[in-house]
Structure 1
Amino acid sequence: MGFGRDSAIALAVLLVFILLEFTGLRSAGLVDFAIRFATFGLLALSLNLLIGSAGLVSFGHAAYFGMGAYSFGLLMQTGAWSVPAAILAAVAMTALLALVIGALCVRLSEIYFAFLTLAFQMLLHSLILSWIGLTGGDQGLMGGIPKPPFLGVDLARQDHLAAFSLFCLVASAVALRQILRSPFGAALRMLRDNPDRAAFLGLSVFRYRLAAFVIAGSFAGLAGVLMSLYVSGAFPSFAFWTTSGEAIFMIMLGGVSVFLGPLVGTAIFLMLNDWITAVTEHHGLFLGIILLIIVLGLRKGLLDFAVEHWRARRGNQP
């Protein structure tokens, strides 16, 4: 029942975009926003698997975002890969990186875990900057990324790329939702709330956390692929700590405990950023002030606050 309902919601989102396409209501700005929303929404959703379900705050999630982007771009530049095959290979490479890093990080907890993930992310960022022959250094991946059509989809067209990005987002959201509803998701929440009791019951804290780390990194890699398609390249900023920080801000804005919270936060973050950038040059200052007011004022994400308020009202009804 849950899978059918989630699939119906995901299909409805795609149908709305398709209707906008065929009714002529679509604009270049809407298409651009749809691509960015799908990309960063997927990044935020993947990170919230760690923060919201496993209780692990990763400051280095951008490493897998950047890995996905660079892996996909380098594979496509060889001219020997189709887009679907390169996407799968890039996600697999990102999963392998997450497996290696996660095996070292998930043994720690709280602040030690957070800063070790940040250290590995900065290591990857430094490698990207220094390996100029492969990555292009601080100039980014040069030469663009070929986008040969497949199955009637031409990702060189922005409207096709927007539809494809939204498809990846909703398919990933359905998959993540089912993961959280599975016994695996229940075990993650048990480990988050009381790891000692979970270990006493026979659950392997290391294995469950490592699995969550790899899953989250894989979906972040897919988000990086979408970003590389969007900009037709890959840049060191994809793997910089500020990208991880933006994803954390999106989660804080939308909410940690409600599954769709990161997507709500992503939409708010992008719209605020676009609006403030158009109004003032000091967009970083004003965006930071607005985010602080929202976070400190509500002390929880907007969707968390709305759902909690709605449940309280229902509970007070006779």
Structure 2
Amino acid sequence: MSISNTTNFTNPSTFILLGIPGLEAAHIWISIPFCIMYILAILGNIAILFIVKRDPSLHEPMYYFLCMLAITDLVLSTSIQPKVLSIFWLNSREINFSACLTQMYFIHSFSSIESGIFMAMALDRYVAICHPLRHSTILTNSVVAKISLAVVLRAGVLIFPLPFLARRYPYCRTNIIPHSYCEHIAIVKLACADIQVSSYYSLSVAFFITRLDVVLIAVSYNQLCAILAFYIPGLFSFLTHRFGQNIALYFHILMANIYLLVAPMLNPIIYGVRTKQIRDTLLRLFSRQGSLSFLVVL
């Protein structure tokens, strides 16, 4: 199927994702680290969920938030990587218009949820340090559930207007997205209409969520590696779409993909392996499996 840059239509049935423009010849090689990071993210976050569910001693606010972070990372990475890898491996570039907007909503809403979870984890640490004797009475299961619900609702409500506005725009020039997934600004830039409302709204939401969460996180010491791995590439990706005209497109798209892969891969290591209770539980599971295997051999 030939792809034209001057396709005439008002409401496209499909968009065409180009992958990483300028690096098409290297798509296969780029897919290798992407695939490895995706597999590590899936295995690591599933392991966190399994360990916390299995060990009753881990049924505490910190680990509930950690499980919520694991689920968010699973959804976030799975929202983009299967399609990205299909572009790299199978040259499968078409994506349905509605599916594209759905992917956009999942990416931005779950990125916002992840930011909110970091804030909730910082709150848990603050209470544990400043009010250790009252920690269990302050952060009850009911309070944890309400905080989690507030984090999800904040993201869902704030991000909802983005796909709604994008759907209302006419697309009469092209349906080719120079990106590997359906990022908000990459889509609305294709509209032959004034997109200032979408642009200013998304910029306002991004700065509102990031500024609020970073300030609240800064009040309490948290795992700096996880925070930096999530916020810095995310802000770089967000801002270069608007103000980085001199930055090579392929570099911007690589950073955008890494932003949505590195954090889900690192979080199970930073918050899981480095947490003594989870590490001990994991070691007990492996030692038990090893003992069972040894008995079977005997």
Question: Smaller-chain TM-score range?
Answer: 0.3 to 0.5
Return the index of the structure with the highest Cα Rg: 2
Q: TM-score, normalised by structure 2?
A: 0.33
